[in-house]
């Protein structure tokens, strides 16, 4: 059933109480002209969790096979190690002057980006004329799973205790645990552990911090991402593009309430760059153009449903994320927030959601390779519909 028909069918059974709930929860776009009906999303998990996605062993094997089958055109290396000692890999393809750094699965339960990255690496490393030409014009470096421990545990956080952090950084003894530490699972939200100062050394007075603060590079996973970024910056001068592939909750609709939104994107992560120092390379318009490349690639799919993407909330100010920190340093950044984490209904639409990331990310890399990204209109970005929150039948995890 199409999303439009699905919503229409639900409308006939909507209750007044449910409509009130929607009105209260449509915070992402409080001025929407219509109120979506009571929905049944976000609570219909497939029951398979992460079983339908490649695990750590399978991912490692797939990367090794990819390097072998392409004769080294896709160059796979170990960039670092997780807190539990698992290897974190990079896969590099191309030799162009422009560089695109792609990072997937910083949250362990957000897996569609990893699947899409493997498919794109196969395409970019192939012997087709299109792939050969692309490789001449762009270099793509992919971290196909940053949070390898969280991926095995099927959880958002990594696998690391605060006591382990203090053991690594004795100067933090007596400091309050970082605000992004989850003591229940014993792990950190890695995507709040970044700092635009790549040489930052953790200091006790900077803890516990909050979401509007920069991070500290206390997790080995964030340190690995930073080290990859720094090496590319040293090689290219500026890391031209940084893409972070995520998943979000299932219950978002398009602004016109006509369809469910399978994807939200964003270019905006910093309110005021000057608040965090002097960052002369910061360029929001470059990020907007990169997002437009993604948007247009998906719009070209016509009525496939891929074109129903929305804009992630633009009130976001997150300097402690990889996107925020790297954007301050001059990278044009793109956030992908694909519908459905492993706790929800991601497996039911696994193929579609993976292909949507392939289409959008592939479109961006193509636009970088042929230079067309530079002439895209930032006004297109500003006109992308906002996402609207739908209610679910149960609590949101």
Q: pTM, whole model, 2 decimals?
A: 0.87
Structural domain count, the chain: 1
Q: Is 16 domain-assigned?
A: no
Q: Is 1 domain-assigned?
A: no
Q: What are phi and psi of 87, to 5 degrees?
A: -70, 140
Task: Judge whether residue 137 has pLDDT over 80.
Answer: yes
Angle, CA 262 vertex, CA 189 and CA 60 arms, to 5°: 50
Mean pLDDT of 338-366: 79
Strand, helix or coil at 66? helix
Q: Is 160 domain-assigned?
A: no
Q: Is 9 domain-assigned?
A: no
Residue 100 neighbours by CB distance under 10 Å: 26
pLDDT band for position 5 (cuts 50, 70, 90) = very low
Say what the pLDDT of residue 8 is: 37
Task: Judge whether residue 321 has pLDDT over 90.
Answer: yes
Q: Is 112 domain-assigned?
A: yes
Question: Residue 335: CB partners within 8 Å, gap ≥ 6?
Answer: 244, 246, 264, 265, 266, 267, 269, 312, 323
The domain that contains 255 carries what CATH number? 3.40.630.10
Strand, helix or coil at 327? helix
Q: Is 11 domain-assigned?
A: no
Q: Is 125 domain-assigned?
A: yes
Q: Is 172 domain-assigned?
A: no
Whole-number percent of the chain with pLDDT over 90: 73
Average pLDDT, the chain: 87
pLDDT band for position 389 (cuts 50, 70, 90) = confident
Domain that residue 82 falls in? 56-155+215-389
Residue with tokens 């120092």: 277
């Amino acid at each position: 059933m199409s999303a439009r028909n699905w919503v229409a069918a639900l409308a006939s059974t909507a209750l007044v109480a449910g409509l009130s709930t929607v009105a209260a929860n449509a915070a992402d776009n409080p001025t929407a002209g219509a109120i979506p009906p009571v929905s049944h999303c976000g609570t219909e998990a497939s029951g398979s969790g992460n079983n339908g996605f490649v695990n750590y062993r399978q991912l490692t094997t797939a990367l090794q096979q990819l390097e072998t089958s392409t004769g080294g055109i896709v160059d796979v290396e170990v960039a670092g190690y997780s807190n539990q000692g698992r290897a974190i890999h990079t896969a590099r393809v191309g030799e162009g002057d422009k560089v695109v750094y792609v990072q997937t699965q910083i949250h362990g339960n957000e897996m569609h980006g990893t699947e899409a990255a493997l498919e794109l690496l196969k395409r970019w490393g192939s012997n087709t004329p299109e792939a050969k030409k692309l490789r001449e014009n762009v270099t793509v470096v992919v971290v196909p799973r940053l949070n390898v421990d969280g991926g095995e545990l099927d959880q958002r956080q990594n696998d690391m205790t605060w006591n382990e952090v203090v053991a690594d950084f004795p100067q933090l003894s007596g400091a309050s645990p970082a605000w992004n530490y989850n003591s229940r699972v014993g792990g950190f939200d890695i995507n709040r552990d970044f700092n635009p100062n790549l040489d930052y050394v953790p200091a006790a007075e900077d803890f516990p911090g909050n979401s509007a603060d920069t991070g500290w590079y206390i997790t080995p996973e964030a340190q690995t991402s930073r080290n990859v970024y720094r090496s590319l910056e040293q090689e290219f001068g500026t890391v031209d593009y940084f893409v972070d592939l995520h998943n979000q909750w299932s219950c978002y609709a398009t602004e016109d309430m006509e369809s469910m939104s399978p994807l939200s994107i964003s270019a905006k992560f910093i309110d005021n760059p000057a608040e965090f120092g002097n960052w002369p390379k910061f360029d929001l318009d470059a990020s907007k153009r990169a997002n437009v490349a993604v948007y247009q690639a998906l719009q070209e799919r016509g009525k496939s449903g891929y074109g129903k993407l929305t804009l992630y909330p633009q009130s976001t100010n997150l300097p402690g994320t990889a996107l925020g920190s790297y954007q301050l340093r001059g990278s044009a950044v793109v956030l992908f927030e694909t519908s459905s984490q492993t706790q929800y209904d991601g497996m039911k639409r696994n193929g579609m959601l993976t292909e949507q990331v392939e289409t959008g990310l592939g479109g961006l890399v193509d636009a970088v390779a042929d230079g067309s990204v530079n002439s895209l209109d930032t006004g297109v970005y500003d006109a992308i519909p906002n996402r609207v929150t739908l209610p679910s039948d149960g609590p949101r995890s």
